[in-house]
Amino acid sequence: MSDDPASEGESGPTHPTAASQSPTGAAILNIPKVSIQGSSSESEDTPPTPTASGESGPAETAEGEAHPNATNQNDDDSIGEFDDGRSGKLTLGILLQEGIIEAGEGVMAIEYLGQTFKGDLMPVGKIRSQETGLVFNNPSAWAIYCKKIVNPAKKSGCGWASVKYKGRKMDHFKSQWTKLKAQRDAEEAERLASQEAQLAEDLRRGRQQLEKDLGAGLAPIIRHAQLSEKQPSDDLDIYVETDPFTDKARVQPFNMSVSASALLIIELHAQCHPVASTCGYLAGQWDINAHNLAITHAFPCLGMSDMAEPDRSAKIEFDIYNAIYRKHLVLVGWYKSCPSNLPKPLPTLRDVEAQLAHQVRLLGANDATYSPCIGMIFKPLGLNLSAAKSDCLAYWVVPPLETNPYDYGKPMMMAYTCIVDPCLSQDALDQIDRILEQRQDLIHQDPSLGLESRGLLESLGDSIKRKAPLDQQGLLWPYIYLYFPSVFRLNPFKMEVPTLKLTDNILCQRVNTFLSGFILDDQRSDQVRQIFESELDAGMKDGLEGSSLQMENTYVPDLINGTEEGQFLSLDLGGTNFRVILLELKAGKIVREEVRYYQVPEEKRLGQGEDLFDFLGICIYDFTDKLGLSQSCQSLALGFTFSFPMTQTAMNQGVLVSWTKSFNCPGVVGKDVVDLLNHSLAKVKPDSQKNLSIEVIAILNDTTGTLVKGAYDRPNTCIGLILGTGCNGAYFERSENVIRWHGGKYDCKNVIIDPEFGAFGDNGCLDFIKTKFDEAIDSASLLPQSFTYEKYFAGKYIGELARIVMVDMNKERLLFPCQDVEGLLIQDGFPSTMLTEVVEDNLNQSVERTITVLKKFSANCSPDDALIVQHICLVLSERAALLVGIPMAVFLRRMKTQEGLIAVTGSLYKCHPNLKARMEFFTRKYYPEWKGESFLSDDGSGKGAGLIAAIAKRLEL
Ligand code: BGC
């Protein structure tokens, strides 16, 4: 295969029979191998922090009071020979292994109230009493045994402090070991840090080299006017500027359109092979009357990277030619990619020459056989995010004047319209598969080819998704994404937080250790998933009686079906804003929508329940008054989104289980909220509205509203997730599985369940992931010991978690080391909006905005401080994504849907730069078959209430 289509006189895409006829010169650059070993997750390798028992020796536990049978493995510090020391717990076995003490007869002693007891130290780290011959697992057990002989009332043995080895207290040997361990830990930390720094440096160098190599061939860019007549010595690799036809008020020779799926294939092809030029053919239709060239298909030349195999290249081109022919298409051009670090896509002089030759060749003998030929150049995304965006140029070459046949043709930019196809054809999907398969092969041969950053992939996903038909956007990218495992190659499915890099390696290590409690390894995440599943089953059966998941039946059995008509009132209460909405539906479509917001003051959120509901009533009448509704209608059906846990016995009945978030009004828990609202509506009704009757026909949770509103937006929706101040998600359950159903079961296949998963773990089943910071958040919250799961990550808490971590780090002098930062001490002083801003700054590889945020707390914020705070926010965000992803995966799997979509409402989801992507990643981790996505369904909680009221009216429930 020639690497120069222009230089081959007879070459061109029209006649794909010889190896030399490839459309482009896809040069394979020499890519340096980049080191890819090592983990980016430092937490895994973090040496464990010594536990309290490790620091102070085994606690004096009751284990000595039991029969001191040495083989009882349940004893607190009896792990003896089974302990490898990594738990941080010191045992005699470890001291023996370390050579600090030696086994021997009579080397152990206890002196107590004038009596001396002697013991042998056994090679397995146990003590044999010389007096009784009994064997003890540890000093504590032996000490309490001996002391009780002298003083039966003695409860504890002070093992390590009272037992002596060769005349010296065991404490002495313990501190020897502690020092040794600390020294070793420090050495290990240093080794790991330097290993990581080295790996990071290798990676950076590798990338730099890669970029350099890609840019190495970057010849200068010149304007056409600078070119003189052709000379054999001309450098054909220089790039030539292209101008639009409009510049010189010239008219484009023909109109042009390109299908979005052809662009998608060109882009994916180039991006999947970022280090070499990619090429392919363009096919479509030429409409001679309309003078329009429609490019409908792109045919990538896949597998042409092996220059040594010309026959193979010829075969590939031949197959493409046949495919074009079979589809009754016309060959209309070719495409190739250019280096990502060119400022914009440009053809080389060689491309210009080749293009002109192709144009001439496609001219045909007469109008009937003529078709124009287009060249397209695609510039992929750079390997690092700072590189400019991808871009695609279409160009056509104006031939030189007949009087100057030795001049170069002038490449001109062609304007084109992009046409989004109604659906992705099977052809296009097959091409996508083939591109992705080739990518897998390439990475298999050279793993360094898969060095995309997550940020790059997200930009690629956005760009590709925009080129897919609307109803397939959600499916396409997740599907393609599965082929990019390289991003997670270092740490396949673990929580993944970019490695913290600080100038001070030891500080870096200490920060990582400090935050390690937030990192859930695979085993613990899987445990969370399993417990979630079993709590779900228990909740389905017994609700809160048997589980921390309430799994409440909402009695909503259906979605909007397109027949709903009329005006409906919606209420949305859950945060500090109360919303009243009027929705008007025609044939199931929202045709009018009016909204008003009312601030709910703190005294109403924490005051008597009756006052709160009177306040809601007053707002509702204010709304109906402002809209003149009492004049225009006599009765209004109302749907009430009440975003708190309720037990329901019907769609229009909901008893409050407990307040959450920032509400705590006495007198409401245990009461039917619909009754309370009806009562207030009657009580505060102004005379001016006496003709208007408002009937509350549905009460719902915000997740239920979001699910119904999401399905209104996109029919495949099967989960409504709230990821805002609080968190919870509703899904469809098969009605035969719903046991708790008051009144007769409706005849319906499914019903929406509100699991109230914010309360997951309230029964202690998740305590194994609780850090001391989570405990602190809970005890400082309005309602301690409730809504445990939500407090790990929801918008009301995540910023606060970051703040208390910062306060503690400041105390430990890990953060802002030279000062006590008092500004940080204000509760809720670091809201989730700050956290999302900091994460965004990190993803943009900057610290500027972080420093500006932190300046509010401390005047002296170093770049290292900013990096540490970014790291805290990333770790907490990653944990949030994991903990939300788990329930999503469990629900999707339960519904057995691969295409199901998740509609989301909530500021945390909306504002966080990558929570969506990471949550989807973890969802897919636990349900790999899932091809759907999550999407923002704005105001699901508000509009959903109106939609559900309309459904209730239609079904007459
Ligand atoms: C409430 C849920 C609600 C969620 C999201 C939680 O505190 O208990 O009912 O769905 O917040 O608003």
Q: Which fold has domain 18-45+218-423?
A: Cytidine Deaminase; domain 2 (3.40.140)
For the record, the structure tokens of 908 come out as 């945390």
Domain limits, CATH 3.40.367.20, in the chain: 717-738+749-931
Helix (H, G, I), strand (E, B) or coil at 16: coil
Closest residue by CA, ligand 1 atom 1: 644
**Cα-based angle 697, 699, 701 (whole degrees, multiple of 5):** 155
Cα of 726 from ligand 1 centre, angstroms:
5
For the record, the structure tokens of 268 come out as 């994916």
pLDDT digits 0-9 by tens, 777-834: 999 999 999 999 999 999 999 999 999 999 999 999 999 998 889 999 999 999 999 9
Helix (H, G, I), strand (E, B) or coil at 317: helix
How confident is residue 448, by pLDDT bands cut at 50, 70 and 90? low
* Residue 484: per-residue pLDDT: 63
Beta-strand ranges (E) seen in 602-692 are: 635-642, 646-650, 653-656
Cα of 421 from ligand 1 centre, angstroms:
40
Report CA dihedral (578, 753, 529, 893) to the nearest 10 degrees: -120
- Please report the DSSP string for 723-762 in residue order: ESSSEEEEEEEEGGG-----SSPPS-SEEEEE--GGGTTT
Q: At residue 11, does pLDDT exceed 50? A: no
Which of 187-196, 709-718, 939-948 is least confident?
187-196
CATH of segment(s) 717-738+749-931 = 3.40.367.20
Query: From the CB of 662, is ligand 1 less than 6 Å away?
Result: no
How confident is residue 61, by pLDDT bands cut at 50, 70 and 90? very low
In 3D space, the residue among 841, 861, 857 whose CA is nearest the CA of residue 913 turns out to be 841
For the chain, count helices (H), then strands (E).
28, 30
Query: From the CB of 790, is ligand 1 less than 6 Å away?
Result: yes
Domain limits, CATH 3.40.140.10, in the chain: 18-45+218-423
Q: pTM for this structure? A: 0.56
Superfamily of domain 557-707: ATPase, nucleotide binding domain (3.30.420.40)
Query: CA-to-CA distance for 914 and 838, rounded, in angstroms?
Result: 12
pLDDT digits 0-9 by tens, 846-896: 899 999 999 999 878 999 999 999 999 999 999 999 999 999 999 999 999
In 3D space, the residue among 833, 851, 772 whose CA is nearest the CA of residue 804 turns out to be 772
Calculate the alpha carbon distances from 397 to 5, 243, 359, 376, 391 in Å. 15, 11, 8, 12, 19
Q: At what angle do helices 795-811 and 505-515 cross, to 10 degrees?
A: 140
Query: From the CB of 660, is ligand 1 less than 6 Å away?
Result: yes
Query: From the CB of 643, is ligand 1 less than 6 Å away?
Result: yes
Calculate the alpha carbon distances from 751 to 513, 722, 754 in Å. 46, 19, 10
Query: From the CB of 267, is ligand 1 less than 6 Å away?
Result: no
Closest residue by CA, ligand 1 atom 3: 643
Q: At residue 358, does pLDDT exceed 90? A: no
For the record, the structure tokens of 155 come out as 């409860």
Cβ atoms of 21 and 314 closer than 8 Å: yes
Query: From the CB of 774, is ligand 1 less than 6 Å away?
Result: no
Sign of the four-CA dihedral 506, 509, 511, 513: negative
Calculate the alpha carbon distances from 105 to 109, 165, 512 in Å. 11, 11, 45
Residue 641 phi, psi (nearest 5): -85, 115
Query: From the CB of 16, is ligand 1 less than 6 Å away?
Result: no
For the record, the structure tokens of 909 come out as 């989801």
Q: At residue 738, does pLDDT exceed 80? A: yes
Query: From the CB of 756, is ligand 1 less than 6 Å away?
Result: yes
How confident is residue 60, by pLDDT bands cut at 50, 70 and 90? very low
- Cβ of 580: how many Cβ atoms within 10 Å? 25
Cα of 660 from ligand 1 centre, angstroms:
7
Instruction: Give 399's DSSP letter.
Output: P
pLDDT digits 0-9 by tens, 288-343: 888 899 999 999 988 765 444 567 777 888 888 888 888 889 889 999 998 887 88
Residue 721 phi, psi (nearest 5): -115, 135
845-854 long-range Cβ contacts below 8 angstroms, 24+ apart: 845/385, 845/386
Which of 579, 643, 778, 941 to mutate for ligand 1's pocket (most ligand atoms within 8 Å of CB)? 643
pLDDT digits 0-9 by tens, 103-133: 999 999 999 888 999 999 998 888 999 998 8
List Cβ neighbours of 507 (8 Å cut-off, separation of 6 or more). 814, 864
Query: From the CB of 701, is ligand 1 less than 6 Å away?
Result: yes
Domain limits, CATH 3.30.420.40, in the chain: 557-707
Stretch 590-604: mean pLDDT, rounded?
Answer: 96
* Residue 453: per-residue pLDDT: 57
Look at the block and give the residue holding tokens 């899987």. Answer: 526
Cα of 900 from ligand 1 centre, angstroms:
22
For the record, the structure tokens of 929 come out as 């078959």
Query: CA-to-CA distance for 299 and 324, rounded, in angstroms?
Result: 9
Helix (H, G, I), strand (E, B) or coil at 810: helix
- Cβ of 764: how many Cβ atoms within 10 Å? 11
Calculate the alpha carbon distances from 257 to 253, 345, 431, 462 in Å. 13, 18, 20, 22
| Helix, strand and coil in the chain, % to nearest 5 | 45, 20, 40
Query: What's the longest Cα–Cα distance across the chain?
Result: 121
Give bridge partners of residue 279 from the DSSP assignment.
Answer: 336
Average model confidence (pLDDT) across the chain = 82
Q: Three-class SS string for 485-554?
A: HHHHCCCCCCCCCCCCCCCCHHHHHHHHHHHHHHCCCHHHHHHHHHHHHHHHHHHHHHHHHCCCCCCEEC
Question: Between 62 and 609, whose confidence is greater?
Answer: 609
Query: CA-to-CA distance for 163 and 186, rounded, in angstroms?
Result: 30
